[in-house]
Structure formats: structure tokens, C-alpha cells
Amino acid sequence: MSNLFNKMKSKVSSDNEGGEEQQFSIQPHPAKTNNPADLQNSAPGTGKGLNNDEKMAPFHARDPHVPTDPQVLESLGKQESRDELRARQAELNQD
């Protein structure tokens, strides 16, 4: 009889212990010193961290895209005036 209880107990306890908790760890920072200049690129592709790729440079964004394709310009429609936009805003915000 105790053998039956032991089998049932092992099945129940193994179901509860099956899901282990997630473990998180802190990743090391690529800097060896506290000097931010150490992370700068001396040559393209040699930097550390987010400076590793020139495309990831935060302040080297391009200008806004201005479409030149006539089909795209036609599909945009006409630009509405401030008064038209305010009227549309009031219409949408009605309860």
C-alpha cells in the first residue's frame, strides 16, 4: 500500500518541480576603463558596443524622405489647411 502512495507522490512532486525558474545574469560591458573615448572607432568596424557599426551611430541620421515619384505624389492627395484639420479633429473627438 505504501508503494502505491510513493508512486503517486513521486508523480505529483515531479510535475511541480518540472518547471525551473528563469535565471538572469548581467552581461559584461565592453569597456576596460572608465574613459568613453575607449569606445570610439579609431577605424571603421573596430569600435565596441553600439559604435561597432557606422549605421548604428545615433546622430548620423539622414534627412526626411521626400518622394519624387509622380505616382507616389498623386496617391498622397492634397494637403489640408489648419482649419480643415481642426474641423476634422473636432469631428473625431465628439462623444
- Cell numbers 575607449 correspond to 38
- What pLDDT, on the 0 to 100 scale, is given for residue 91? 96
- What pLDDT, on the 0 to 100 scale, is given for residue 10? 74
- What pLDDT, on the 0 to 100 scale, is given for residue 88? 95
- Residues with Cβ within 8 Å of 30's Cβ and at least 6 positions away in sequence, in order, are 39, 48, 49
Q: What is the pLDDT along the chain (95 residues), one digit of tens a residue?
A: 677 778 777 776 655 455 688 888 998 877 778 877 776 666 655 555 555 566 666 666 678 888 899 998 889 888 899 999 999 999 999 97
- What pLDDT, on the 0 to 100 scale, is given for residue 67? 86
Q: What is the pTM of this model?
A: 0.29
Distance CA 42, CA 79 (A): 47
DSSP annotation of 54 reads G
Distance CA 24, CA 30 (A): 19
- What pLDDT, on the 0 to 100 scale, is given for residue 92? 96
